[in-house]
Amino acid sequence: MSIEKSKDIIRVFKNDRAFPGLLLIKVNDEDTVASTKSIGNVTAMYNKKGELLGYNISQAEYPGRDGYLPMSEELLASVNGGLQAVGFEPLQHDFTPRIVVGHVIRMEDHPDSDHLHICQVDVGAEVLQIVCGAHNAAPGIYVPAALNNAVMPNGRLIRDGKLRGAVSHGMLCSEWELGLVEEKQKGLLILDDTYQIGASFFAEREKHHV
C-alpha cells in the first residue's frame, strides 16, 4: 500500500531586479541554512537537522511582478518541472483555504495590555482564540481571519503564537493586510452577516462583488 506524501505550505518569491531569473521556494520558514546541495540550476537548502528549507532555481522565467507569487496549480507545476528536470522530488502544496470568514462571538480586554483584545472567533469548524489590537474589534462582527499556516498576499506566513502571554490562533485582518488597498490603514475589515462563517474569504468576497 502506497503512503501519500504529506503536503506543505510552499511559498515562491522572485526578485528579477536584484536576481534575474531566480525563484526562491520556501518550504520551511526557518532562515538558518546549514547545508546545500546543487544539481544543475537548482540548489536545495537544509537546516542542521537535514530538513529541507527550500530551493533556489536559477534561469527560471515566470511572469508576474517581483515579490511573493501566489501559489496556483500552474505555478506548482512549473516549480515541480524545474525540480524534477534535475532529479529532485516534486513538492505538494496544501491548497486548503486558511483566510476565512470569522465571527467574533466573545471579546475581553487582555489583562496585560491597554490595547489588545482576546477574541473568541467562530471560524466554522471550531471556535478559536485570536488576540487582536484593532480599535474596531467588537463582539458580533464578521471579519476575515487568517488561521495557522495562512499565507498573506505579501507572502507572510501566519503561525499560532502568543501575544503578551495569551495564545493566538491566527490574526484578524484589515483591508491592507489582505492586499485590497495599497495605503496602510488601521482597523479590521468588517463584513456583513451575509458572509458565510468558515468559508474562504476571497471566494465569498468574489460572490459579493459580482
Q: What stretch(es) of the chain map to CATH 2.40.50.140? A: 99-208
Runs of H (alpha helix) within the chain: 73-85, 201-208
pTM score, whole prediction: 0.88
Query: 42-46 and 52-57 as β-strands: parallel, antiparallel, unpaired?
Result: antiparallel
Q: Please say whether the beta carbons of 203 and 128 come within 8 A.
A: no
CATH topology for 99-208 is: OB fold (Dihydrolipoamide Acetyltransferase, E2P) (2.40.50)
pLDDT digits (tens, 9 = 90+) for 79-112: 999 999 999 999 999 999 999 999 999 999 998 8
**Which amino acid belongs to residue 65?**
R
Q: Which helix (H) or strand (E) holds 210?
A: none
Q: For residue 7, what are the β-bridge partners?
A: none
pLDDT digits (tens, 9 = 90+) for 33-62: 999 999 999 999 999 999 999 999 998 778
pLDDT digits (tens, 9 = 90+) for 123-144: 999 999 999 999 999 999 999 9
Phi-psi region at 21: left, alpha or beta (left = phi > 0; alpha = psi -120 to 50): left
